[in-house]
Amino acid sequence: MFVFLAGALAFSLHSPNALAKDPFANFGNTGLDRKPGASTPSPFQRNAPAAPVVAPGGTAGIALSKEWAGNVAQSAGGQSMKIDDIRKLLAGYGTAEADLASHPEVTIYEGPSAAGGSCRIAYLMPLANAERLLGLRLGTGGRAVVPGFPDGLFLKTYDVKLGIYNRLTLLLDSANQVVALQLKAENVNWYPPSPPFSKQPGDWHVVDYLNVVNKGQPRLAIDTSVNDLRSKGGYLVINTTGGPRPADGIVLKPAANSPKQNATLYLPVPLVKLILFCVERQAAK
């Protein structure tokens, strides 16, 4: 079963300002055409094959800097609001733990690939394997300076065409192993269905956790929702977009007075534990 992505290939790429209660209704024979709860929705027009391609993950554990937890304040650049956001967001989905094990059974992403078909990206999969399965080429990267995340991580970003998404970012450890994945759509706000996503109430500041993008002005609103897949694959899917969420349900449209972008972050449980461990250490200082 393929899950979680926020996107609509046939909708609103041709009409980005269109408003519809259900932009997925005519996709045909996907989870989005079924009743809520019957299947986790897929945002892609093309059906995924029943058996995704699987490659092994890393086995040596996550590779971070020597002072990976102690450097969280320095890495955050003093951006306390962003650290508060990630702490509040993840508090109900894990416990603080210095879990550095490999966990090859944990999934980061399972779904359509830019190469066609579908793939599964496991926690700590080598970068070369992930790029091949996802059909990625010519990425650009650099050190990750992400508030609340452990130190010693790197970002690599690619141009893609996956539903509404035009950017894919891999979060890597110091050994070029994948620890998280994010899809991003520019000039789009998308509000995923509930269920399976659960809207997270609050005055959020961050619209893109990996690239550290916040709302910029206090009057702007961020809509945040989570698809909890810990029991099915050991990961969370976190959707952040401009808000507020419309009362009439699923909408794919740039909202007024809000950031015009959509980020869907795939966060595995081991990384959730490490983040909570880091922010707990930060709060104790």
The mean per-residue pLDDT over the stretch 154-180 comes to 96
51-80: pLDDT as tens digits: 333 334 444 799 999 889 875 544 444 478
Whole-angstrom distance, CA of residue 47 vs CA of residue 28: 9
73-102: pLDDT as tens digits: 444 444 788 889 999 999 999 999 999 999
Cβ atoms of residues 260 and 254 within 8 Å: yes
8-17: pLDDT as tens digits: 333 333 333 3
The mean per-residue pLDDT over the stretch 176-205 comes to 93
210-266: pLDDT as tens digits: 987 766 667 788 999 999 999 999 999 999 998 888 876 677 877 777 788 999 999
Q: Which residue has the higher pLDDT, 245 or 128?
A: 128
> What is the amino acid identity at position 228?
D
Among 12-16, 125-129, 140-144, 163-167, which stretch is predicted with the lowest mean pLDDT? 12-16
Phi, psi of 270 (to 5 degrees): -55, -35
Q: Rg for the chain (alpha carbons), in Å?
A: 18
The mean per-residue pLDDT over the stretch 129-158 comes to 94
- CA distance readout (Å), 40 to 35, 36, 192, 197: 10, 8, 11, 9
| pLDDT score recorded for residue 71 | 59
Give the chain's end-to-end CA distance (angstroms, integer).
43
Q: What's the chain's average pLDDT? A: 78
Vertex 176 angle, CA 79 and 52, to 5°:
105
pLDDT band at 40; cut points 50, 70, 90: very low
Q: In this structure, what token pair is assigned to residue 212?
A: 């550290």
* Residue bearing tokens 């995340």: 149
